[in-house]
């Protein structure tokens, strides 16, 4: 945009200054405009071109058009005030200290203010310089406030959109990229846009306006100096283009390395208990140091390239300054210009070259910011794998009749995790999924709220394919308790309220009582207002699980999924929980996953999974008699703790119940011992 405006301006000058020199500069700048517009950040077509990227960023400025217009106005005012600064010096040198004839405008001013001797003119020039300096400072404050305000608002809007989009992206995306990468994109990458606005776009606007106004004034003083001051622009743009392309790819590599460090740090400190348990602090420190060293070396190479670029720009601006000073001095010697005129030319030249020099010194960080902007752009343009269909239906008044029809599912190109799954759960019934670890139980229930979509077949609720339902309304109709309790660092009350944001205190307490959580919550230092720490680390595993169960109960959804909900509970708490759940399942469809067979014995239907396939389905007593795998699972539970209950396998139901309770008691003894 900047170079395009310069082209238009030069074309205007060309109408009345048709010289070979101007024509040559115009031709070169036209070439540079084409280079800038066609410049791609990388050679891969899938990457956004620079003009698309800048256009996308400028789109975030649209809501602040009024502020941006004010910024342009203040920029012009700042430049105009800045343009006045050297004129007081010119008057001082030429007309106060020297004996040059006063120009017409100065004569009129001296007549208006009755400045007829050199001393009064000296005082007036000093006061004028002071006034201009103060005015420049005041305008600069307003300029900075507008600049920072627009930049911060733009970044906040970008972070808001990115945060919203990251939440929309499918579970598979987050599992592949990692939490650290998402945090890095949301914080560091998004905030780098601020650098583009403050160190790139706004300074370029100021530099362009200064260049145009300076050019107009220099044309009136001496047109050859005006053209000479622009002679440095073509090679300057060439250097910028060359180094920008070189630095861009390296900056992108560094951003990827830095996001890996975020991932590493997040992994270590989210698993700090494991690190300490295995005394792997030194090992993790070495991993961090290795990754940091790779990033440091890459950053050092960029800094070296940036230094070379800064040197090249400084050299070019010095050449331009020296050329203008030489030619201007020659004009002074010839009497075409005064010393004051030359001072104005040099001051204006510095005003134009200063932003360019500043940009050259931060080109590395600007390229890094562009790489970050590209990463944010690419993330925002990622389509979620799981999203609403164009004609998605609102899941209203679901009753909870679940049906799996010939469902198969696999992660990526791996072999299917689930194959040809067929079963039905009637409204208000409890179904239990059992099987060895890796049988596909958790994957199966993940298809109901559409965390994933099946490769083949369909999952229906009340006869409607879940892929045809509005995602938000579908998930609002499902309560889930995960195998590992997931809690926030907020209070116990807020963690339970997450199931129903507008719940009253009475509803929260009632849910906690049902989940057998009220008693221990009341004993916390601040009761329900007690902060639970990161991931609820202030609580025991069983307490965390009861909080998560209370949250699911508060949601009061027609479908309840319990993914091994009692894995952290003792047998007494487990019994209480399921006693309460028996009252709740009457009007809701419940799916339970558990390794403990005692938790599923009273289910309306038990589905046995083996290697992603259904190996049997029925009630507890029926499966004991007819399903070999179910019988083996039961024996595995008992024999794994050294119980000799072979004869019990052929006994009646009461013997099985007694053996099952014994197995759970011994299992808990071993876990606690």
The reported pLDDT for the residue numbered 615 is 92
pLDDT tier at 5, thresholds 50, 70, 90: very low
Share of the chain above pLDDT 70, in %: 80
- Per-residue pLDDT band at 10 (split at 50, 70, 90): very low
Q: Do 532 and 608 reside in the same domain of the chain?
A: no
CATH number of the domain that 146 lies in?
Answer: 1.20.1560.10
**Quick one: tokens of 241?**
């283009």
Structure tokens at 472: 């938000």
Taking the C-alpha atoms of residue 357 and residue 240, their distance in angstroms, rounded to an integer, is 11
Domain boundary among 620, 644, 663: 620
How do residues 173-231 score in pLDDT, each as one tens digit? 887 887 778 888 888 888 877 777 776 777 777 777 777 777 777 777 777 887 887 78
Whether the per-residue pLDDT at 41 is higher than 70: the answer is no
Task: Give the model's pLDDT for residue 667.
Answer: 39
pLDDT tens digits, 288-300: 888 888 888 887 8
User: pLDDT band at residue 386, thresholds of 50, 70 and 90?
Assistant: confident
Residues 109 and 138 in one domain: yes
**CA-CA distance, 230 to 6, in Å (whole number)?**
10
Are 189 and 368 in contact by the 8 Å Cβ rule? The answer is no
* Final residue in a domain of this structure, among 342, 361, 380: 380
Say if residue 576's pLDDT is above 70. Answer: no
Residue 23: is its pLDDT beyond 60? Answer: no
What tokens appear for 671 in the block?
């876990």
Q: Give the pLDDT score at 509.
A: 93
Q: Which two tokens stand for residue 544?
A: 């965390």
Count of domains for the chain: 3
Q: Give the rounded distance of the alpha carbon of 30 from its chain centre.
A: 37
Please tell me the predicted confidence (pLDDT) of residue 28.
Answer: 34
Domain membership of residue 363 (yes or no) is yes
In whole angstroms, give the CA distance from residue 136 to residue 145.
14
pLDDT band at 584, cuts 50/70/90?
A: low
- pTM surpassing 0.85? no
pLDDT, tens digit (0-9, with 9 covering 90-100), for 330-358 = 988 888 888 888 888 888 787 777 766 66
Q: For residue range 440-483, list pLDDT tens digits in order.
A: 888 999 999 999 999 999 999 999 999 999 999 999 999 988 87
Task: Check whether residue 322 and residue 471 sit in a common domain.
Answer: no
Residue 185 in domain: yes
Residue 359 banded pLDDT, cuts 50, 70, 90: low
User: Domain containing 588: what range?
Assistant: 391-477+557-620
Query: Is the predicted pLDDT of residue 401 greater than 70, yes or no?
Result: yes
Are both 314 and 208 inside the same structural domain?
Answer: yes
Assess whether 248 and 285 both reside in one domain. yes
313 lies in the same domain as 412: no
Residue 329 has pLDDT above 50, yes or no: yes
The secondary element (H helix, E strand) that includes residue 265 is helix 233-270
The pLDDT tens digits of the residues spanning 223-269 come to 788 788 778 878 877 877 777 667 767 777 777 787 788 778 877 87
In a domain, 538, yes or no: yes
pLDDT of residue 580: 61
- Compute CA distances 137 → 75, 229, 422, 484, whole Å: 13, 27, 76, 59
Indicate whether 641 belongs to any domain. no
233 in the same domain as 144: yes
Count of beta carbons in the 10 Å neighbourhood of residue 290: 11
Q: Are residues 306 and 414 in the same domain?
A: no
Say which CATH number the domain at 610 has: 3.40.50.300
Residue with tokens 């207002």: 529
In a domain, 11, yes or no: no
Which pLDDT value is given to residue 362? 62
- Of 380, 406, 440, the one marking the end of a domain is 380
In a domain, 17, yes or no: no
Angle between helices 50-59 and 363-380 (to 10 degrees): 80
Segment 148-166 mean pLDDT: 90
Q: How confident is the model at residue 61 (pLDDT cuts 50, 70, 90)?
A: confident
Q: How many CB atoms lie within 10 A of CB 346?
A: 15
Identify the pLDDT of residue 445: 93
- The answer to whether the Cα torsion of 649, 655, 656, 659 is positive or negative is negative
Is residue 634 a part of any domain in this protein? Answer: no
Output the DSSP codes for 487-527. --SSBHHHHHHTTSTT--HHHHHHHHHHTT-HHHHHTSTTG
Confidence tier at 566 by pLDDT (50, 70, 90): low
- Compute the mean pLDDT over every residue in the chain, rounded to the nearest whole number: 77
Q: What is the model's pLDDT at position 596?
A: 66
pLDDT at 409: 92
Q: For the residues 508-520, what does the mean pLDDT come to? A: 89
| 443 and 516 fall within a common domain | no
Whether 339 and 452 map to the same domain: the answer is no
| Same-domain status, 103 and 188 | yes
DSSP 126-159: HHHHHHHHHHHHHHHHHHHHHHHHHHHHHHHHHH
The answer as to whether 5 is a domain residue is no
Residues 494, 436, single domain; the answer is no
- Please write the tens of the pLDDT for every residue from 62-90: 899 899 889 888 988 888 888 788 888 77
């Amino acid at each position: 945009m900047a170079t395009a405006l310069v082209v238009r301006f030069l074309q205007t000058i060309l109408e009345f200054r048709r010289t070979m020199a101007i024509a040559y500069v115009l031709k070169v700048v036209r070439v540079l405009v084409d280079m800038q517009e066609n410049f791609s950040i990388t050679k891969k077509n899938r990457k956004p071109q620079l003009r698309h990227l800048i256009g996308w960023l400028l789109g975030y400025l649209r809501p602040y058009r009024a502020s941006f217009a004010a910024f342009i106005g203040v920029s012009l005012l700042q430049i105009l005030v800045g343009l006045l600064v050297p004129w007081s010096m010119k008057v001082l040198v030429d007309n106060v200290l020297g004996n040059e004839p006063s120009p017409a405008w100065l004569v009129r001013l001296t007549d208006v203010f009755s400045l007829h001797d050199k001393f009064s003119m000296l005082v007036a020039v000093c006061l004028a310089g002071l006034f201009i300096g103060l005015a420049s400072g005041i305008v600069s404050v307003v300029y900075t406030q507008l600049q920072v305000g627009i930049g911060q608002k733009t970044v906040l809007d970008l972070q808001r959109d990115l945060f919203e989009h990251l939440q929309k992206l499918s579970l598979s995306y987050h599992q592949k990229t990692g939490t650290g990468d998402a945090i890095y994109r949301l914080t560091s990458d998004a905030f780098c846009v601020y650098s583009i606005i403050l160190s790139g776009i706004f300074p370029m606007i100021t530099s362009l306006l200064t260049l145009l106004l300076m050019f107009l004034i220099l044309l009136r003083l001496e047109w050859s100096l005006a053209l000479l001051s622009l002679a440095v622009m073509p090679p300057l743009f060439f250097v910028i283009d060359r180094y920008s392309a070189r630095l861009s790819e390296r900056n992108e590599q560094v951003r990827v390395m830095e996001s890996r460090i975020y991932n590493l740090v997040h992994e270590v400190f989210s698993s700090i208990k494991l690190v300490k348990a295995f005394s792997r602090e030194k090992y993790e420190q070495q991993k961090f140091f290795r990754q940091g060293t790779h990033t440091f070396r890459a950053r050092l190479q960029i800094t070296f390239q940036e230094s070379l670029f800064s040197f090249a720009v400084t050299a070019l601006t010095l050449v331009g300054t020296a050329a203008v000073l030489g030619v201007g001095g020659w004009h002074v010697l010839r009497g075409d210009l005064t010393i004051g005129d030359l001072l104005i030319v040099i001051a204006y030249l510095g005003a134009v070259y200063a932003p360019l020099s500043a940009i050259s010194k931060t080109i590395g960080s600007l390229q890094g910011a562009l790489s970050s902007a590209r990463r944010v752009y690419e993330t925002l343009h990622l389509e979620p794998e799981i999203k609403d269909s164009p004609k998605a239906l609102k899941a209203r008044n679901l009753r909870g009749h679940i049906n799996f029809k010939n469902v198969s599912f696999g992660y990526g190109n791996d072999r299917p995790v689930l194959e040809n799954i067929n079963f039905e759960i009637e409204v208000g019934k409890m179904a239990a999924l059992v099987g060895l670890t890796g049988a596909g139980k958790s994957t199966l229930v993940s298809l109901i709220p559409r965390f994933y979509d099946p490769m083949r077949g369909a999952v229906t609720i009340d006869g409607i394919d879940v892929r045809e339902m509005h995602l938000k309304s579908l998930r609002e109709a499902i309560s889930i308790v995960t195998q590992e309790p997931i809690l926030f660092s907020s209070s116990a009350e807020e963690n339970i309220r997450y199931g129903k944001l507008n719940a009253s205190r009475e509803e929260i307490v009632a849910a906690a009582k049902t989940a057998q959580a009220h008693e221990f919550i009341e004993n916390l230092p601040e009761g329900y207002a007690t902060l639970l720490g990161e991931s609820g680390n202030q609580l025991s595993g069983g307490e965390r699980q009861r909080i998560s169960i209370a949250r699911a109960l508060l949601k009061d959804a027609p479908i309840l999924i319990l993914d091994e909900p009692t894995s952290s509970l003792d047998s007494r708490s487990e019994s209480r929980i399921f006693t309460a759940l028996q009252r709740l399942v009457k009007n809701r469809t419940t799916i339970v996953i558990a390794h403990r067979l005692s938790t599923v014995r009273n289910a309306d239907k038990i589905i046995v999974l083996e290697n992603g396939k259904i190996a049997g389905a029925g009630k507890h007593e029926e499966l004991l008699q007819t399903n070999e795998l179910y019988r083996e699972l039961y024996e595995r539970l008992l024999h794994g703790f050294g119980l000799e209950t072979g004869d019990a396998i052929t006994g009646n139901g009461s013997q099985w119940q007694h053996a099952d309770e014994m197995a759970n008691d011994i299992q808990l003894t071993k876990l606690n011992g």
